[in-house]
Amino acid sequence: MRKHPLIALFVCALAAAGSAAARDGVDVGQPSAMRKLVPAEGLERQAAQEFSQLKSQAAAKKALAPDDHPQTRRLREIANRLIPHAARFNPRARQWQWEVILIGAPPVNAFCMPGGKIAVFSGLLLGLQLTDDEAAVVMGHEIAHALREHARERIAKTELTRLGASLLSEFVGGGKYSGVFNAGGQLMTLKFSRDDETEADTVGLELAARAGYDPRAGVTLWKKMMAANKGAPPQWLSTHPSGRNRIEEIERHLPEVMPIYEKARLAEKSRSRQDGDAQR
C-alpha cells in the first residue's frame, strides 16, 4: 500500500526528532578529510619520539616534575577523568598510550600531541593559579586538538601548498611520507588555525563537562589569559582568536554542555553516597 505523503512526512519528522534527542553535547561536524593524506600511525610515532626527546631535555635541565610531584599527580587525576570520554570524538583514542607530564618552565602553555602525549608548563598551571576546573578546560582543549587530528590536517595543507596537488599525489600513491613529516616540522610548535582553536575550545568544553568539571571555568580561564597577555597582537595578526571572542564563543556553547555537567555531577554524588554506604 502506498503511504500518504503527509504520513510519510510525519514519520520522518518523528525519526529526526528522536535522532536529535539521542544526541547531546556540541556539534562540530566531521573532521577534515584533508587529514587522510597523512598516515595517523606514522604521525603518532613521530609524536612519541619528539615527546621522548622533550622529556629527556627537561630532565637534563631538572625541569621535569617527578611522578610523585603533587601537581603532576593532580594533572594525571584530571586526565584520567577526561580520557574515558575521548573516544566519543575519535575511536583511535582507545589505542593511544596516554601520557601526562609537568615541565617546570615559564611559558604559559600546554599541548597534546597526536597519540595522547600531554605536556603542561608550570607557567600556565601555577603562574595563572588554575583551579581544577580551569585546568580541565585547558587539558580538554589540548586533547581536542589531538582528537580532531588538527596536526594531520595542518601538515597535509602545508605540504599541499608547498608541493602542489600532483606531487603530493605521487607521495601518497607511492607511500613516501617523509616530505609530509618534514613539512610539518616540530609537532610541539605546530600552529593551528583560528577555526582549529575554536573547535578545540568547543570540544574541550564537552570533555570537561562529561568528566564532571564545570565548563563555565572556560570563561574565568580566558579572563586570566587576557590579563596575563596584555599587549598581545590583535586577533587579525594572530592565528588564535582573541580572548574576548573566545569567551563569547564559550558562552554560546554553555547551554549545550551545562546539562552534561549537571548529569555528571549528579552521577558522581550518587557514587559517593553508595561508597559511603558500603563503608558503613
pLDDT at position 19, please? Answer: 40
Choose, from 44, 99, 134, 142, the residue flagged as catalytic: 142
In a domain, 113, yes or no: yes
Q: Are 65 and 71 in contact (CB under 8 A)?
A: yes
Mean pLDDT, the chain, integer:
83
The pTM score is 0.81
Dihedral sign for Cα 125, 131, 137, 140, please. Answer: positive
The cell 610548535 sits on which residue? 189
Rounded to 10°, the helix 132-147/194-210 angle is: 120
168: enclosing H helix or E strand: helix 165-174
Q: Are 190 and 38 in contact (CB under 8 A)?
A: no
* Whole-angstrom distance, CA of residue 158 vs CA of residue 35: 11
Give me the amino acid identity at 81. R
In a domain, 247, yes or no: yes
In a domain, 20, yes or no: no
In a domain, 168, yes or no: yes
206 in catalytic set: no
In a domain, 19, yes or no: no
Query: How far is C-alpha 42 from the geometric centre of its chain's CA atoms?
Result: 20
In a domain, 249, yes or no: yes
Total tally of structural domains belonging to the chain: 1
* Digit-coded pLDDT (tens) for 16-65: 444 433 468 888 888 878 778 888 899 999 999 999 999 999 999 999 99
224: containing domain: 34-256
Contacts of residue 270, Cβ cutoff 8 Å, sequence gap at least 6: none
Q: Is residue 235's pLDDT more than 90?
A: no
* Digit-coded pLDDT (tens) for 180-214: 444 444 677 678 888 999 999 999 999 999 999 99
In a domain, 276, yes or no: no
Per-residue cell: 98 = 596516554
In a domain, 104, yes or no: yes
